[in-house]
Amino acid sequence: MTRPRLLLVDDDPLIGESLSFALARDYEVAHAEDRASAIAILRSGLVPELALIDLGLPPVQNLPNEGFKLIGDLLAHAPQVRIVVLTGQNEESNARRARALGAADFVPKPCEPEVLRKALARALGAQEIDRREDEGAHTLIGESPPLRRLRSQIDLYAASSFPALIEGESGSGKERVAFALHHLSPRGREPFLALNCAAISPTLVEPTLFGYARGAFTGAQQAKSGYFEDAGEGTLFLDEIGELPADLQPKLLRVLENGEYQRVGETQTRVSRARIVAATNRDLREEVRAGRFRSDLYHRLSVFELAVPPLRELGEDRMRLLDHYRAIFAAKTAGQPFELDDKARARWLAYGFPGNVRELKNIVIRLTTKYAGYTVGLAELEAELAPASEAAPLDPVARARAELLSGEPFSLDAVLRGVEQAYLDAALEIANGNMTQAARLLGVSRTTLYGRLEAAGRSGAKLGASDPGEARG
């Protein structure tokens, strides 16, 4: 049986050699000593099932910044990879941030080999969730208004053959939306091919997309078709389209305009009948303004635009997704699903999920592993979430729901007074005490501003004494 591929990233040669030897029986190990080398390995064509990485990487080994960046890079280049962090920088805040960014597990150094093997096995087993999802990948789980709007757009655009551009944050499920477009279209029985433009070397993107003739370059010992040809009359999904090299953008534009392309090293013109669906977590409009992306290509790609909402905007769908993944992983492990108590449920609904659905899945996997058949309380759940400084901002409804469900005494009047006071203070600070300017910032008259300050127990007269506008009045 083929061994799973494991990308090991650690700058210590001794640790790298020891771990490579210890894990070679179970995994096909590729070792990199820094972030750039790891990306080079990915772009060479290796698509690992697992990655085992250190946080303290060059050029600043005593800080975790480079390791955090690597987590994002790995998931951008190989979204299905499961990442286990093995590091001596094992502060709880680092563990929680790594998990929020997409790491499946966090193992502090030093650790026993058996502990590490179990962590890797858990992460590898978690890929079963992705395989189970593939069986119903055209289904979007949720009933929130943003998701219903997205589902309506998919239904509306699916039958068309024009290109579509899917925008959304990392981990929000853009490929799932692309597959739903394909599955619900007349092309549903044709191939669905996906290429991550960030995952391969820029020099390999053209032959991968268009194919190549024998002898077109060193190593091209025989002719090979590309993704456009292999997709036939199906759908070609180009993820991370913002990473497409500038010299290839005119060639992609030509395919979009008339379907024509040529294999590398050939003069024969071929015609693609595949539908192009692209995705990005960048703002392509800004990329166009910065001169990094062709405006004509952007307009050709964005005939239809679909925005995948971040998880923090989906309200109760966070509970529906919890139920969905909890059931899948419990079935996979033949165990009992965990439950959340009332305070943990309130925290779950209030949490911003900066890593979106990908992060939610990883949290469910860890909770199922640790607390199968048990009720998870607030403290246990909090240990799996990103620190408040790292979490995405909550939408107002989620924040209100969390406060109302927390069980703590609540006063709407007090909350409204607090909000008003914050805006009053902010306006006065920005205006340096100038009442006229502060009133203008708040969109009220000076008389109303004085009244609000007096009601709040503040001396409006003193604050306004040096106000030039007031003095002139």
In tens, the pLDDT along 57-99 reads: 998 888 888 999 999 889 888 888 999 998 887 778 888 888 8
Rg (CA), the chain: 26
Q: For residue 327, give every residue at least 6 positions away whose Cβ sits within 8 Å of its Cβ, in sequence order, or none.
A: 337
Q: Characterize the bridge pairing of strands 28-32 and 50-53.
A: unpaired
Express each pLDDT in 405-457 by its tens digit: 656 677 787 778 777 877 888 888 788 778 888 888 888 888 888 888 887 76
Q: What is the pLDDT of residue 472?
A: 43
Looking at residue 296, what is its pLDDT? 96
> pLDDT at position 76, please?
81
What pLDDT score does 77 carry? 82
Q: Is 108 exposed, middle or buried (0-12, 13-18, 19+ CB in 10 A)?
A: middle
| Average pLDDT, rounded, for the chain | 86
**Of 131, 160, 253, 241, the residue nearest 195 (C-alpha):** 241
Q: What is the pLDDT of residues 126-170, one digit of tens each?
A: 665 565 555 555 678 999 999 999 999 999 999 999 999 999 998
Evaluate if residue 399 carries a pLDDT over 80: no
pLDDT tens-digit series, residues 287-346: 999 999 999 999 999 999 999 999 999 999 999 999 998 988 887 777 789 999 999 999
Residue 461's pLDDT is what? 41
DSSP string, 326-389: HHHHHHHHT-PPPEE-HHHHHHHHH---TTHHHHHHHHHHHHHHHHTTSEE-HHHHHTTSPPTT
The mean pLDDT value for 223-249 works out to 94
Q: Is the pLDDT higher at 348 or at 76?
A: 348
pLDDT of residue 412: 83
User: Contact, 355 vs 100, CB < 8 A?
Assistant: yes
CA 178 to chain centre: 15
Is there a contact between 95 and 87 (Cβ–Cβ < 8 Å)? no
